[in-house]
Each structure stands twice: as structure tokens, then as C-alpha cells.
Chain A
Amino acid sequence: MPSLSYIAALNQALRDEMARDERVCIFGEDVCLGLTGITKGLAEAHGTGRVVDTPLSEQAFTSLATGAAIAGQRPVVEFQIPSLLYLVFEQIANQAHKFSLMTGGQASVPVTYLVPGSGSRSGMAGQHSDHPYSLLAHVGVKTAVPATPSDAYGLLLSAIREPDPVAVFAPTLLMGTSEEIDGDLDAVPLGSARTHREGTDVTVVAVGHLVPVALQVAADLADEASVEVIDPRTVYPVDWETLGKSISRTGRLVVIDDSNRMCGFGAEIAATAAEEFGLAVPPKRVSRPDGAVIPYALNLDHALLPDALELTEAIRAVLRR
């Protein structure tokens, strides 16, 4: 079985979509060089007319993509740093996302925002270590956080084909991973969760790089408990049907995601489960603390991130009740 790396999967998705659809083009910083690895070789293959190095003008090139999309292109915009999304929140949340409704459906804005290197980069400190997918989910931008190379390929493909703006976050801690691929790669529909491990005692909902962490914890706890691990794959829209079935069956829920706690993705999953899914015991969240700013020193950085130990304790806590 061939091995596929996470970065190669994203690169392949771009390569395939650019070959399939002439409208697909790429904007971003250092994209011709392929500094993040994701766009490597695409300028050589498709020319600098379609793979466009931009100056460091995130706000302008984000809205430039909006204008180009309304005019018939399918732009992919790469951001080198997740915090750049704060800079372009106006352009994404207030312009691109609202265009369809505000114009009464006259046109939509099919742009993909690609955010590689999201989450802690171990030592990159306060302004390079956020993982702000919950923010986009909150305003209603379709948002994917793929956990495996094949999902990265499939979700990016779907993002580019979607008629609305879609953000795709590639967590730093996954970008060095690989997967043995059995069969063909294919598109993964937005809003479809993936049950990675079936179980009967507790449902663990894990996002992004915390999916492999959750799977390891579930394996380690196999003698104690039967843990079901579900990756929602897109944090907006959420596959409530798959989550609801699992949570209703196990009656117990732990959510682990790398958001800040207040209004984070985990809060929404826990709230919906409490309202609708008949929890037997109160749910648990494992997240970053409220309003976390990641400090520089490595031990401090790691101290604020959700990890296997916290997840293990949370699972045991919901099982004890």
C-alpha cells in the first residue's frame, strides 16, 4: 500500500482540482515556492497566472479572491499563520460569507481558505499558535479540520467544489504524519463525521490532531472501557445525526478539541448533547483554558494544550458517575 503524507495529500487535492477545473487558482504568500509544502510544484505545473504570489496584504488578497469568485473563479487562499484570520475576519465573515444572503442569492462566493500549521507550533509563542476554527464555525463559515491524510485530500476537494466559502485547517501536529492508502482517494462530503473506533460505554468527539490522541487513549483504556471515537471532520456544519446516534447510545460524552474553552467547539457539542441526546451523566470537555494565549517556553506551551492525560481523566470521570 502506498504511503501518503498529510502535506502531499493537500498538494494532491490542489493538483487534481486545478487539472480538473480551469477556474481553480491559488493566492497567497510564497505559494509559488511552496513554503508550507502544500503548493509545491503547482506554479511549475500551472503557471504563475494561476498560482499567484501575493504581497503581504492579507486583507486585500482575501477580498480579491471574493471578487474573483463572484466573477467566476474558484480561488484557494493560503494563510501562512492561523492568526492571520483575525486580520481578515472582516473580509471572510462580513464580506464573503454574507454575500449570498445579502444579495438574495444572486451569487455565492466559492473561495477556500487554507490554513496550514494551525494550533501550537511548539515554541512559536502567542501570535503563531492559535487554532481559531471555532470562530469561523460561530459565524457560519463552513469549516473543516481534517485528521488524516485521506480526509485532508477529500475535504479539501469538497471545499474547493463547494459553492460557498469554506475554511480548511491543517493542524501543525498532523502535517508530518502519513497514512497507508488502500484504494483510491475520494472527496469527503462536508458535514459527514467519521467513526474511527466503535465503542459502547462513552463517546469521545475529537477534532484534528486530537483524533489520533483519542484513538491512542481509547486503545490504552480498552481493558477498562469501550470507547467510541468520532471525528466530526467539519466543525461547521456538524454531522449531528452521527454524533447524536452515538451519544444517545452510550449516554456519555467527552469532547476534546484544541479551542479555548469559552464559546469553543466543545461547548457547542456538549450543549447540544445535553439538550437533545439524552445524556446519562453530565458531559466533559477537554480544551485549552478560557482565553488562552500560548506562552513561548515549551513546557508552558504544552501545559495549556489538551492532551492524552486530561482526556483519560475525563473519560474515567464520566464513567465513574
Chain B
Amino acid sequence: MRLIREFEEHCLEMAVTGTIVGGIHPYIGQEAVAVGVSAHLRKDDVITSTHRGHGHVLAKGADPKRALAELYGASTGLNRGRGGSMHAADVGLGIYGANGIVGAGAPIAVGAAWAARRQGRDQQVAVAYFGDGALSQGVVLEAFNLAALWSLPVLFVCENNGYAISLPVDRGLAGDPVRRAAGFGLTAAAVDGMDVEAVAEAAGRAVAACRAGRGPHFLECATYRFRGHHTVEHLMGINYRDEAEVASWTARDPLARQRARLAPAVADEVDAEIAALIAEAVAFAGSSPGSDPRDALDYLYAGMVPTRPGA
């Protein structure tokens, strides 16, 4: 959690200075979800992530140096500078990418689970992360149906942070997420997404059940993003959340909560370790070269196509 938090604090600064172009969708406040779920994932498990994906990607084991280099647009980045914040991926670690379209990763995760079963990798699970806003995307509901119909090992993790961009969940979502998921035949539960141990416990049960062949699961994590939907909101001076509401959630900061459970010396040790990791990542990303503009269309196809230039 500390790694994600410090990584993102640095990214916020770099989004202001322009080292990170395009801004970011900060995950700060939601760290307990990615960390609690990932505690039970193996290297060969697959995740699909969201536009707010740094936490999922780092928690699944992506190298912070290469993750930061990706955001810097460097050729040493996870995606060689071709994906950036919204598409960060490490396919070798089962990270099938952050995704710029809300809900789009859910059926991709179902496909990965289908393939795992087809290939006899029965112990493998796929996790689809998405927000409350994605529950209004038809393709997510279609993905629920396919996963349940074919009893696939998929854990759908809904990070309900209360807002679909600026739309409060009570103005965007009819009914209850858990009951909705249960209606599709998913084993569904809700958990306090601000408590990493609670998330880890619930996710542990769900992941184990998926591995045991007991079909797809759904976990709604009640959480909150401490920052705006995207860094551009701050620049535009947009505010749609009540100050008291923000304060009530920041008072439940999952990092502070976990720190209180640790011996102070252990917590300090973790902080120091993370500070060193971040410093290393910043040095690595900062000294990494960019790519030659003549190579801007590299990797467009795996098979050859002689792409004609635009002029």
C-alpha cells in the first residue's frame, strides 16, 4: 500500500511538471483493495485493470522502476512507452493491462479464465477489477453471465468509490451491486474496502473457491478515492464532493489503519524500504531514454504489414 501511495504521490507531482503527460487517474485511497486481493494471487493468475490501474499493476508485482518509466514515456517502460498510465501491462506477470474504457477488461478476464481451463490450468484464476461506474456497462453484465454460465474461475472485484466520474452512485446505479451480481449466479459479497485485512480475508475465500472450481465470485469493496477522477479536475477547479464527506473517508485512510496494527519499528522499516524503491524508480525513469519518433508505429502488428506513412 505504501508503495502504491508513494508511487502515486510522485506521479501527481510529475503530472503537474509535465514529465508525465496526459495526467493520471489517482488510486490514492483505494490501495487496500488491490493489495488485499493480490495477496492471494500467483504469478500465473491473470488480472484486467482499469483506467485507475497503477495500484492493481504494482500489487500484482510489476516492477516499480519500469512502471514509472512507462509513465515517463521511456523506452524502458513496461510497455516501452507505448501505453502510459491507462494501458500499463505486464503480460508475463498476467497483467493484461489497465484499460481506457470502463468495464472493457471484464470479458477479457473471462476469456483468460476460459483459456486457462481449456489448457488444463485448473488452479489459475482471473481477476477483473472495475468500478461502480462499470456496473452500468452492458458488457460487464454480459461477462457476469458468461462466467456464471460456464462456471469459470473469475473474481470480479468492484471498487465502489462512490462516483462514476462525477456522478454519485445513488444517481447512477439502481439496486444493490451484490444482489445484482448474485442475480447472475455469482457468489457475491461486500467488504470494507478501506481495510486491507478485511479485503484480504474476503478475497482469500473467493480466490480459493475459484481455484477449487466453485465458479465465479463477485466482491464489492466500499472505498473512496481521495483525489479527483483525473488530475485535470484539480487544474479545472472542479469539485463535486462535499468536504465533510471527503474528510470522513480520508479519516479512514487504509494506510493509517494498517500502520496502527504494526509495531512502529516495522512500519518505519517499510516506509524506509519504500522510500528507497521510489528513489530508485525515479532515478531509473529519469535517466531512461525515450524512443525514436521514427519508431512510433513499432509493435502495431505482430505479423508484418507495410504501413504507409501519413504524408
- Nearest B residue (CB) for A71: B115
Of A54, A62, A68, A72, the most chain B CB neighbours within 10 A belong to A68
Given A59-B139, A103-B82, are A67 and B118 neighbors across the interface (CB < 8 Å)?
no
Q: How far is the CB of A140 from chain B (nearest CB, A)?
A: 7
Given A59-B138, A101-B300, are A67 and B146 neighbors across the interface (CB < 8 Å)?
no
What CA separation (Å) do A236 and B139 show in the bound complex?
28
Q: How far is the CB of A97 from chain B (nearest CB, A)?
A: 9
- Nearest A residue (CB) for B137: A59
A17 at the A/B interface (Cβ < 8 Å)? no
A107 at the A/B interface (Cβ < 8 Å)? yes
Within residues 57 to 114 of chain A, which ones have a CB less than 8 A from any CB in chain B?
A: 57, 59-73, 90-91, 94-95, 99-108, 110
User: B100 — which chain A residues lie within 8 A by C-beta?
Assistant: 94
Q: Is the CB of A237 within 8 A of B306?
A: yes
Q: How far is the CB of B298 from chain A (nearest CB, A)?
A: 7
A199 at the A/B interface (Cβ < 8 Å)? no
Q: How far is the CB of A93 from chain B (nearest CB, A)?
A: 11
User: B87 — which chain A residues lie within 8 A by C-beta?
Assistant: 102-103
User: B113 — which chain A residues lie within 8 A by C-beta?
Assistant: 67
B145 at the A/B interface (Cβ < 8 Å)? yes
* Chain A residues with a Cβ closer than 8 Å to the other chain, count: 45
Q: How far is the CB of B263 from chain A (nearest CB, A)?
A: 40
Q: Is the CB of A100 within 8 A of B299?
A: yes
Given A64-B110, A102-B87, A106-B92, are A94 and B101 neighbors across the interface (CB < 8 Å)?
yes
Contact indicator per residue, chain A 28-63, by CB within 8 Å of chain B (1) or not (0)? 000000000000000000000110001101011111
What CA separation (Å) do A73 and B119 show in the bound complex?
9
A208 at the A/B interface (Cβ < 8 Å)? no
Given A66-B108, A162-B303, A164-B301, are A60 and B145 neighbors across the interface (CB < 8 Å)?
yes
Q: Is the CB of B107 within 8 A of A68?
A: no
Contact indicator per residue, chain B 51-84, by CB within 8 Å of chain A (1) or not (0)? 0000000000000000000000000011111110
What CA separation (Å) do A163 and B300 show in the bound complex?
11
Q: Is the CB of A64 within 8 A of B146?
A: yes
What CA separation (Å) do A25 and B150 show in the bound complex?
16
Q: Which of the residues A66, A73, A101 comes within 8 Å of B299, measured between beta carbons?
A: A101
Contact-residue size bin, chain B (C-beta under 8 Å from the other chain): 35 or more
Q: How far is the CB of B22 from chain A (nearest CB, A)?
A: 13
What CA separation (Å) do A101 and B306 show in the bound complex?
15
Q: Is the CB of A104 within 8 A of B109?
A: no
Q: How far is the CB of B79 from chain A (nearest CB, A)?
A: 4
Contact indicator per residue, chain B 90-119, by CB within 8 Å of chain A (1) or not (0)? 111000110111001011111111111011
User: B303 — which chain A residues lie within 8 A by C-beta?
Assistant: 108, 142, 162-164, 190
User: A142 — which chain B residues lie within 8 A by C-beta?
Assistant: 301, 303, 305
A116 at the A/B interface (Cβ < 8 Å)? no
What CA separation (Å) do A68 and B48 show in the bound complex?
13
What CA separation (Å) do A38 and B111 show in the bound complex?
23
B142 at the A/B interface (Cβ < 8 Å)? yes
B46 at the A/B interface (Cβ < 8 Å)? yes
Q: Which of the residues B83, B111, B138 comes within 8 Å of A102, measured between beta carbons?
A: B83
Q: Is the CB of A63 within 8 A of B139?
A: yes
Given A63-B108, A95-B104, A108-B302, are A103 and B119 neighbors across the interface (CB < 8 Å)?
no
Q: Is the CB of B146 within 8 A of A57?
A: yes
Q: Is the CB of B97 within 8 A of A102?
A: yes
Q: Is the CB of A191 within 8 A of B145?
A: no
Given A63-B139, A95-B101, are A103 and B115 neighbors across the interface (CB < 8 Å)?
no
Q: How far is the CB of B186 from chain A (nearest CB, A)?
A: 14
Q: Is the CB of B79 within 8 A of A104?
A: yes
What CA separation (Å) do A68 and B117 show in the bound complex?
10
B155 at the A/B interface (Cβ < 8 Å)? no
Q: Which of the residues A57, A95, A108, A237 comes within 8 Å of B108, measured between beta carbons?
A: A95
Q: Is the CB of A70 within 8 A of B104?
A: no
Q: Which of the residues A59, A61, A103, A105 comes within 8 Å of B97, measured between beta carbons?
A: A103
Q: Which of the residues B83, B97, B111, B301 comes within 8 Å of A63, measured between beta carbons?
A: B111
Q: Is the CB of B92 within 8 A of A63?
A: no
Q: Is the CB of A72 within 8 A of B119?
A: yes
Q: Is the CB of A68 within 8 A of B111?
A: yes
Q: Is the CB of B299 within 8 A of A57?
A: no
Q: Is the CB of B139 within 8 A of A104?
A: no
Q: How far is the CB of B99 from chain A (nearest CB, A)?
A: 8
Q: Is the CB of A60 within 8 A of B112?
A: no
User: B79 — which chain A residues lie within 8 A by C-beta?
Assistant: 102-104, 106
B143 at the A/B interface (Cβ < 8 Å)? yes
Q: Is the CB of B301 within 8 A of A70?
A: no
Given A70-B96, A90-B101, are A104 and B299 neighbors across the interface (CB < 8 Å)?
yes
What CA separation (Å) do A90 and B140 show in the bound complex?
14
B297 at the A/B interface (Cβ < 8 Å)? yes
Q: How far is the CB of B208 from chain A (nearest CB, A)?
A: 21
User: A61 — which chain B residues lie within 8 A by C-beta?
Assistant: 107, 146
Contact indicator per residue, chain B 115-140, by CB within 8 Å of chain A (1) or not (0)? 11011000000100000000000110
Q: Is the CB of B146 within 8 A of A73?
A: no
- Nearest A residue (CB) for B80: A104
Q: Is the CB of A103 within 8 A of B83?
A: yes
Q: List 13 A-B contacts (CB under 8 A).
A: A57-B142, A57-B146, A64-B107, A64-B110, A65-B111, A72-B115, A91-B107, A95-B101, A101-B297, A101-B300, A103-B91, A162-B303, A164-B301
Q: Give 7 new A-B contacts, CB below 8 A, not counting A59-B138, A71-B111.
A: A49-B118, A61-B146, A64-B108, A64-B111, A67-B111, A67-B112, A108-B303
Closest 10 CB pairs of A and B: A67-B111, A104-B80, A108-B302, A60-B142, A105-B299, A71-B115, A63-B107, A163-B302, A67-B108, A64-B111
